[in-house]
Amino acid sequence: MADAPVKEKQVKLQVATLRAEESGAGIARIPRTAMAELGVTEGDVIQISGKRDTAARVVAPYAEDEGIEVIRLDGLQRANAGAGAGDMVHLSRVEMRPATRVVFAPAQENLRLQGSANALKRSFFGRPLVAGDTVATAGQQRVPAGDMPPQLRQMLNAPAYALAEVRLLVVSANPKGVVYIDESTEVELLSEYQEPQDARRTDVTYDDLGGLGDTINQLREMVELPLRYPELFQRLGVDPPRGVLLHGPPGTGKTRLARAVANESDAQFFLINGPEIMGSAYGESEKRLREIFEAATKAAPSIVFIDEIDSIAPKRGQVTGEAEKRIVAQLLTLMDGLEPRTNLVVIAATNRPDAIDEALRRPGRFDREIVIGVPDESGRREILAIHTRGMPLGEDVDLGELARTTFGFVGADMAALTREAAIEAVRRIMPKLNLEEGTIPPEVLAELRVTRDDFLNALKR
């Protein structure tokens, strides 16, 4: 009997999420049984295949995961593998090869990166990379970047240096397959944004939302599942929700959440800004609405997100303007007119749920509601961890303490706080900069830390 061809051992596991603070590190947590089956130990590299192939370094499971058959991946990796939480992926052991050449480009719109491919080399040294992946500079690393407040950029009057995590697309990597950067790798950085090809958009994932665990679960059930598995709902004969109303104070992450759901569901995202669309000329607003719904229907699966819906659809009884009446009527017509099979969900946000037209709350319209509150201490802590990802923090910075002392802050306030603290840190090193030269000496950059005092000073502002 002829020998059967030697087949690589394959293991199939269900995808779950990684803790937000571990995201961007390029690791995958898998069960010890799977490690044994694959013949790998911690630190080895595995290939992960869903609709796409990607790779990660193996790390032991969380203590509470012992005995559970899941692979934990961060949001970028889920996109890179073409698999959402709950999907199955195939794993196999893989040998990484040293890269001769790797080309990166910014994976975020409006992000212009300048210069130093060398800094990138340091950031990704030894990390498993596959062409087409989106990767993040994480941990205490910095790369030159344009992703910073204009205020800061002005102060520096120089190629901008980001104090935050930056997302990059691996445009190409040679040789083919899974590679890593070593001393001899030639690294190139393109300056312009590049849309990932067959991969999902990764500008926002669930990892970028702090303190919203339960909300994310609710939205996953209401929106992500129906968008990703429409046939399941058809089979069961239940209509997935058409409209979901998010209500909560401004700056609590409603917009970010809608974007994350779209990305994680592999759906197109269409944004309608309430006040903006109201400002259009006679008849224009309705036309815009129709156009957006038409485009979203064509591009389905899609999410149409209506921000500040109260401004376009206030209670009709209270409305004096004809324009509002027409727009509400148009929106209702569009929602009622969607074919049951159209894979489209409308998510609307408001901070005044009782101020919107009741007709919009009827079955088949915005008949689901999710409340998003002001984050509590642990939520604020999570949000801080997200916004300080990639920020070189001083040893005296205690995120727990900051979370305790920021009662009442919403996500947007926490984001502003970390931004301000970074600016404080830059202010401190300003005297050491030679602004004429337009570059920051590497040794100054290397010692740049955002300290506890920077945060306290930022809080005072």
Binding residues for ligand ADP, rule: CB under 6 A, are: 209-212, 250-256, 349, 383, 386, 411-412, 415
What CA–CA distances, in Å, run from 389 to 136, 165, 348, 418, 422? 10, 6, 29, 10, 12
Taking the least distance from each CB to ligand ADP, the nearer of 8 and 376 is 376
How near is the Cβ of 308 to ligand ADP at its closest, in Å? 9
How near is the Cβ of 72 to ligand ADP at its closest, in Å? 20
How near is the Cβ of 12 to ligand ADP at its closest, in Å? 33
Taking the least distance from each CB to ligand ADP, the nearer of 78 and 247 is 247
Taking the least distance from each CB to ligand ADP, the nearer of 163 and 386 is 386
How near is the Cβ of 206 to ligand ADP at its closest, in Å? 10
- Cβ burial of 124 (10 Å; 0-12, 13-18, 19+) is buried
Tokens representing 163 are: 């104090």
How near is the Cβ of 216 to ligand ADP at its closest, in Å? 10
Taking the least distance from each CB to ligand ADP, the nearer of 130 and 370 is 370
Residue of minimal Cβ distance to ligand ADP:
411
Taking the least distance from each CB to ligand ADP, the nearer of 72 and 380 is 380
Segment 334-343 long-range contacts (CB within 8 Å, at least 24 positions apart): 334/289, 334/290, 334/293, 335/242, 335/243, 335/364, 335/365, 336/364, 336/365, 338/242, 338/293, 338/297, 340/239, 341/230, 341/234, 342/297, 342/300, 343/226, 343/227, 343/230, 343/267, 343/300, 343/301, 343/302
How near is the Cβ of 383 to ligand ADP at its closest, in Å? 4
What CA–CA distances, in Å, run from 382 to 20, 324, 399? 8, 39, 9
How near is the Cβ of 408 to ligand ADP at its closest, in Å? 14
Locus of tokens 């800094």? 119
- Cβ burial of 203 (10 Å; 0-12, 13-18, 19+) is middle
Taking the least distance from each CB to ligand ADP, the nearer of 266 and 307 is 307
Taking the least distance from each CB to ligand ADP, the nearer of 103 and 349 is 349
- Cβ burial of 27 (10 Å; 0-12, 13-18, 19+) is buried
What CA–CA distances, in Å, run from 416 to 379, 382, 411, 457? 16, 15, 9, 13
How far apart are alpha carbons 140 and 226 in whole angstroms?
38
How near is the Cβ of 184 to ligand ADP at its closest, in Å? 39
Q: Which residues contact 330 (CB under 8 A, 6 or more apart)?
A: 285, 286, 289, 290
Taking the least distance from each CB to ligand ADP, the nearer of 115 and 213 is 213
